[in-house]
Chain A
Amino acid sequence: MAAPKKGRGPAGGQGRPGRALALILMAMVALTGGMFLAHQPTPRLGIDLAGGTSITLEAKAEPGQESAINKTNMDTAVQIMERRVNGLGVSEAEVQTQGNRNIIVNIPKGTNSAQARAQVGTTAKLYFRPVLTVAQGTPTPAPSASSSDKASPSASPSSSASDKATSPSGKPSASATTQGRAVTGGLKADTSPTPAASSAPTASAEEQAAAAKLQKQFEELDCSSRASRSKAALGVKPTDTVVACSSEGDAKYVLGPAEVSGTEVDSAKANFDQQRGMWIVQMEFSGKGSKQFQTITKKLSAQQSPQNQFAIALDGEVVSAPQVNETLSGSAEISGSFTQQSAEELANVLSYGALPLSFTEQSVTTVTAALGGEQLRAGLIAGAIGLALVVIYLVAYYRGLALIALLSLLVSGILTYTLMSLLGPAIGFALNLPAVCGAIVAIGITADSFIVYFERIRDEIREGRTLRPAVERAWPRARRTILVSDFVSFLAAAVLFVVTVGKVQGFAFTLGLTTLLDVVVVFLFTKPVMTLMARTKFFASGHPWSGLDPKRLGAKPPLRRSRRVNAPTDPKEA
């Protein structure tokens, strides 16, 4: 679909219409087969057609922090929101970024949309809480895989390397990823490695009492499913002693009141420690945070396992629960059995908690399933009526040629439908109301191409040509016109798709897709079929109902046999 070209291309070339037809038939069979193999016999419906809630959020930067709205932060936000929404027990809620600063959250019907909105819009809450009790994630007390004997219960003034060595053995439970990491001071950070032994008995007594109160709740806590994990996290206040699940569901905790807020984390980075050959997460605290962190680590480092751990709790779920081996302040590092990915994830979470990125609701659309169904029906009826009108018009005007147009529209329809169905799982395409609208409007675009070609053929017949040469001669010129105008349509759709947000994108996408398919159909179907039809007696003899009756078209008798060489000034239409 570039600049208009002259000359005859191979597609739909004169003598071999069968090849092109076989090609498009194969494509149709493959797409239809793929659709059923993928168990996607219908396009995925958008919220406005299926019912549900769609929330559009826009990131708002704090003054002076505009650069905080970047791709990384937006992606982190999407991850966190997805966790929250899906934690509500909704399956298949989708959270996507759109444009540079928008996040769209689509929640299918049957969900408490008010709760979803409350969950989604707020900034992530990250707290550092002391761990009081740890157990495996399910309510049944499972036998511990490894008895929790700690290698170095008290603060060890040893080097980081030895900390790391001890930490894996200190796992309180069988889980591998979220626990058993050791926090140590950064190389310059271990200012006062004094163990604070005095605080241990009192704190422990207090916490035991709290744990007793929470005992029942703790025992009943089931961390095996995402929904129940989020339920435990709901309504958690930073000042309470709470129960919480690990984000992977393999462990559950009783956690003390929040000691440090995530907003006090200045920065967190995942680094590969060359010396030790392992991934670590380094974090830096703000002034206030480092004081608070010093207090908590001082307290914790004096405890026995598992109470020498603190939990990094994001939205009430424990992301990581490293042990503390020494008192730390301004900067700290978390080491343990990290992979690159898990280290980066934790660093993201830590950074995000401190991020001045908040979201405001731009629009919230709740569509009941009944209304959605009604709109889908209305859209389909509108499409059917529009199609019927086009068909009536084409038949009345083009007679037999309309059959070719209808078949082409049908092929185009099948291709569009199967592609839409397949694009649902592939790229998350969802058929929404504007997309339906775009598909209906596209009927006109597709029909336009046939009209351009048919009129060209009729012009050739008016010149006195018989049908077969007319069909071939009309094609290169019609092809050029179709390509140029489809290119303009596609350009419009592409620009719309790139620059717009929300519902407009669905419309633009459909329009662009159908424009592309129009080119495919005209080249691989309409033209070859036209070539074949020109061989039939019905069309070739110019039957009055063929739409190609030379008399009716006002062809000039006597019929011209040979064609004059291109008259440069022949003002024939294009």
Chain B
Amino acid sequence: MSRLGNLGARLYRGEVGYDFIGNRKIWYGISILITITAIVALAVSGLNMGIEFKGGAVFTTPKTSVTVASAETLATDASGHQAIVQKLGNGGLRIQITEVDTAKSDQIKSQLSKDLGVPAEKIAADLVGPSWGEQIANKAWTGLGVFMVLVVIYLAIAFEWRMAIAALVALIHDITITVGVYALVGFEVTPGTVIGLLTILGYSLYDTVVVFDSLKEGTQGITKQTRWTYSEIANRSINGTLVRSINTTVVALLPVAGLLFIGGGVLGAGMLNDISLALFVGLAAGAYSSIFIATPLVADLKERDPQMKALKKRILAKRAAAAAKGELSEAEQAEQGIPEDVEPAAAVVGQRQEPPRGHGRTSGKRR
């Protein structure tokens, strides 16, 4: 861990750094690939909707000696529909029967209690009409829409519109990935999943906002200097907040992991598991997108700004002039080494901790 702390220090000083912005096309590519995969998976296999969306019943029995296979036959006979039976961690059974209405499910319950030899009042039942899930889903969509509008407005005020757009793209990206994972793996989608997905909204933005906050601070008065381009500062912001992003993500994931394994381990399936699974996937996606998508996107948008274009031109001219004079600092030498790159390689530029004003430092001083 202390090694990570050490890395934190080196990241902070810019001794090490990764060129997130420079390689952004790779990340965009990866994300587009993931998104396409998600959409294809969604189109091909679709989502495995839980009974809340199809209508049906879930019965949970206390510990019983009836085997899963025979319970399945009994439940299928009792309902006339295919039953799915799972064994739970406590020895009970979870019997799921889709497409029965709430009235019918009462009969099934009493039939099951007879067949399984379990008193009816000891069987927990979750009976859902077919339009319940639809109502939840509709509300969720409304929530998603309202939240996105509000967050874009807020971020546009607190930061600027480019950041708001980038955050929105990252958010949509996270949700797409999460939904895609659900489609690919075939996890069941329940109201718990919807809850989890909606919670990602806040979480995904948490990391993004932290990086943006740093970026905003770093780029104050950017036009008054001629040393760093916007992209370079953005890259430093990412690197500087990297340890923090990792830490906050790990700390956020740990309780969710606890939920996931306890929810899955002890109770087999249920609300805890559904929420935590969606959160787990979404949080991981959220951490990724705040580093690899949101900030590079801001840099991309910002570099289109005429002011930033002019700044970059000035900086490049200055660097070229310095190079011509032969006063090449180590960092600048490295920059020259990558002539094809549209952006000056930020990773190496970041190799100095000194304030940009400090001029003409000898390369050896830092070590």
Contact = CB atoms under 8 A, between A and B. Distances in A.
Contact of A390 (B140, B143, B254, B272): B254
A569 B222 contact: yes
Contacts of A434: 192, 195, 271, 275
Contacts of B227: 569
A418 B215 CA distance: 39
A571 B228 contact: yes
Nearest to A442: B255
A14 to B, nearest CB: 21
A151 interface: no
A410 interface: no
Interface in A445-459: 445, 447-448, 451-452, 455, 458-459
Interface in B214-266: 214-218, 220-222, 224-225, 227-228, 232-233, 236-237, 240-241, 243-244, 247-248, 250-259, 261-263, 266
A487 B205 CA distance: 10
Given A362-B131, A569-B357, A574-B216, A488 B90 contact: no
B363 interface: no
B129 A361 contact: yes
Most chain B CB inside 10 Å of its own CB: which residue of A382, A440, A451, A458:
A382
Given A455-B244, A492-B199, A568-B224, A552 B259 contact: no
Contact of B12 (A362, A452, A502, A573): A573
Nearest to B148: A495
User: What's the dominant secondary structure at chain A's contact region?
Assistant: helix
Contact of A389 (B1, B5, B258): B258
User: What's the dominant secondary structure at chain B's contact region?
Assistant: helix
A495 B151 CA distance: 11
A11 interface: no
B198 A496 contact: yes
B151 A386 contact: no
Chain A interface residue bracket vs B: 35 or more
A120 B26 CA distance: 59
5 contacts: A371-B62, A440-B258, A451-B244, A502-B191, A568-B221
Interface of B: 1-2, 4-6, 8-10, 12-13, 52, 60, 62, 90, 92, 102, 105-106, 121-129, 131-132, 135-136, 139-140, 142-143, 146-147, 150-151, 154, 157-158, 191-192, 194-195, 198-199, 201-203, 205-206, 209-210, 213-218, 220-222, 224-225, 227-228, 232-233, 236-237, 240-241, 243-244, 247-248, 250-259, 261-263, 266-267, 270-272, 275-276, 279, 353, 355-357
Given A363-B128, A371-B62, A437-B276, 19 more contacts: A56-B132, A58-B135, A362-B132, A363-B126, A378-B272, A385-B261, A388-B258, A390-B251, A441-B252, A441-B255, A485-B210, A485-B213, A488-B154, A499-B142, A499-B146, A564-B355, A567-B357, A569-B233, A574-B215
Interface of A: 3-4, 48, 56, 58, 99, 102, 114, 360-368, 370-371, 374-375, 378-379, 381-390, 393-394, 396-397, 433-434, 436-438, 440-441, 443-445, 447-448, 451-452, 455, 458-459, 462, 477, 480-481, 484-485, 487-493, 495-496, 498-504, 507, 511, 552-556, 564, 567-574
The 5 closest A-B pairs by CB, nearest first: A386-B255, A573-B240, A568-B221, A492-B202, A554-B9
